């Protein structure tokens, strides 16, 4: 039976991924970890350990204690926070990843860690951004993501470690809110549409970015981890996207359900500059060809689900 250690398990991806993995591989097969000692979250209903991922020894001890064979390393600071705290971002994003790589090497684990559309920069082709292209990001988060992709490739080639990863776009979910990202406006807009019927966007109209609904992201993680390794040419940096949208397209999709919804714009210079440095729309064809990537949700389908779940939650 698989034994999977998840870091950053209380975060936006982790809090939903842990439940899905436990359904697939059994409750005892998934060890959730996060920096918090105590949590009332659902993820603590199975094995849960407090773990600061910058402490490599502690990570090794937990992985060894449970006999894990797989690490899903999610703990990281997102783009806007990384720009405000670049030293902390480097220490957590790269220090944590180095520890996950070393623990995986010591114990012979398979390792998944997400990269991001942030691994591209202002000199990258903006539309149909190819799988392999110029990567000169100008944000600290982007720098850490490119370094992470390269480190994972290095451990695969040098030590034969089974490292795998996806370049995620903005991930959209009603369950756990994202924090400190540039793409967070999407979730905020849904929440404010339901709660107040209006929203002030921190990104300007015409700012196109890739997005994906969380259930598709969770399926993508499981698919890449289960894919036949011999077919993967780009192990650690697969482009994946479900849609490319700007704030106006999102507002229009919401107005199909809340006709009076109003949006105005007050761009935040920090997050606007980050968004402007990222692609409009990446090309996911290498993922489709090499491991059968597919999505079930487009903008309209995601909007129906987001609005109905948020209305039930009473946002
Ligand atoms: C962010 O906005 O920082 C993240 C990302 C695209 O990696 N959602």
Per-residue pLDDT in tens (0 to 9) along the chain, 315 residues: 899 999 999 999 999 999 999 999 999 999 999 999 888 888 989 999 999 999 999 999 999 999 999 999 999 999 999 999 999 999 999 999 999 999 999 999 999 999 999 999 999 999 999 999 999 999 999 999 999 999 999 999 999 999 999 999 999 999 998 889 999 999 999 999 999 999 999 999 999 999 999 999 999 999 999 999 999 999 999 999 999 999 999 999 999 999 999 999 999 999 999 999 999 999 999 999 999 999 999 999 999 999 999 998 775
Contacts made by residues 254-260, CB under 8 angstroms, sequence distance 24+: 254/189, 254/190, 254/193, 254/303, 254/307, 256/300, 256/303, 257/303, 257/304, 257/307, 258/193, 258/194, 258/197, 258/307, 260/197
Active-site hit among 25, 48, 66, 141: 141
pLDDT of residue 280: 98
Q: Using the mean position of ligand 1's atoms as its centre, give its distance from the Cα of residue 240 in Å.
A: 13
Q: Which of 11, 81, 178 to mutate to test the pocket of ligand 1 (most atoms within 8 A of CB)?
A: 178
> Is 141 labeled as catalytic in the residue annotation?
yes
Give the whole-angstrom CA distance, residue 17 versus residue 70.
14
Where in the sequence of the chain do the CATH 3.90.25 domains occur? Answer: 170-211+242-281+296-314
Distance 182 CA to ligand 1 centre (A): 6
Distance CA 253, CA 218 (A): 24
**Best mutation site among 170, 171, 237, 278 for ligand 1, i.e. most ligand atoms within 8 A of its Cβ?**
170
User: Closest residue (by CA) to atom 4 of ligand 1?
Assistant: 181
Residue 38: per-residue pLDDT: 83
Q: Position of tokens 């490319």? A: 244
Q: Using DSSP, state whether 33 is helix, strand or coil.
A: strand
User: Reduced to 3 states, what is the DSSP secondary structure of residue 265?
Assistant: strand
Return d(Cα 20, Cα 173) in angstroms, integer: 15
Residue 90 is classified by DSSP as H
Distance of alpha carbon 75 from alpha carbon 50, whole angstroms: 12
Q: Report how far apart, in Å, the C-alpha atoms of 205 and of each of 127, 182, 252 are.
A: 17, 14, 12
Domain 4-169+213-239 in CATH: superfamily?
A: NAD(P)-binding Rossmann-like Domain (3.40.50.720)
- String of b and e for 60-94 (b: at least 16 CB within 10 Å)? eebbeebebbbbbbbbbbbbbbbbeebeebbebbb
Question: What are the tokens at 163?
Answer: 């490292």
C-alpha Rg value of the chain to the nearest Å = 19
What's the 183 CA to ligand 1 centre distance in angstroms?
6
Q: What is the CATH number of domain 170-211+242-281+296-314?
A: 3.90.25
Q: Show the ligand 1 pocket: residues with CB < 6 angstroms.
A: 78-79, 116-118, 141, 168-170, 181-183
Q: Where in the chain is the domain with CATH 3.40.50.720?
A: 4-169+213-239
pTM: 0.97
Q: Give me the residue label for tokens 């540039």.
A: 182
């Amino acid at each position: 039976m698989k034994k999977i250690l998840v870091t950053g398990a209380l975060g936006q991806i982790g809090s939903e991924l842990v439940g899905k993995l436990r359904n697939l591989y059994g409750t005892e097969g998934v060890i959730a970890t996060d920096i918090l000692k105590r949590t009332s979250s659902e993820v603590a209903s199975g094995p849960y350990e407090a773990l600061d991922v910058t402490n490599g020894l502690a990570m090794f001890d937990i992985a060894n204690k449970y006999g894990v064979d797989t690490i899903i390393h999610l703990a990281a600071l997102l783009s806007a926070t990384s720009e405000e705290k670049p030293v902390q971002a480097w220490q957590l994003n790269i220090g944590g990843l180095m520890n996950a790589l070393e623990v995986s090497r010591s114990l012979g684990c398979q390792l998944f860690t997400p990269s991001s559309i942030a691994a591209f920069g202002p000199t990258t082709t903006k539309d149909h951004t190819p799988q392999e292209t110029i990567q000169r990001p100008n944000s600290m988060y982007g720098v850490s993501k490119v370094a992470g992709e390269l480190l994972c490739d290095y451990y695969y080639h040098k030590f034969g470690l089974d490292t795998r990863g996806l370049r995620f776009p903005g991930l959209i979910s009603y369950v756990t809110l994202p924090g400190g990202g540039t793409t967070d406006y999407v979730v905020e807009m849904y929440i404010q549409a339901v709660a107040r019927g209006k929203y002030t966007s921190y990104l300007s109209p015409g700012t196109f970015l890739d997005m994906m609904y969380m259930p598709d992201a969770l399926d993508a993680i499981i698919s890449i981890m289960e894919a036949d390794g011999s077919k993967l040419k780009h192990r650690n940096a697969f482009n994946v996207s479900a849609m490319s949208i700007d704030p106006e397209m999102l507002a229009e999709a919401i107005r199909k359900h809340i006709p009076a919804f109003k949006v105005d714009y007050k761009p935040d210079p920090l997050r606007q500059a980050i968004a402007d440095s990222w692609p409009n729309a990446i090309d996911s064809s290498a993922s489709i060809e090499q491991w059968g990537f597919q999505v079930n949700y487009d903008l309209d389908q995601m909007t129906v689900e987001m609005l109905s779940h948020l209305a039930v939650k009473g946002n």
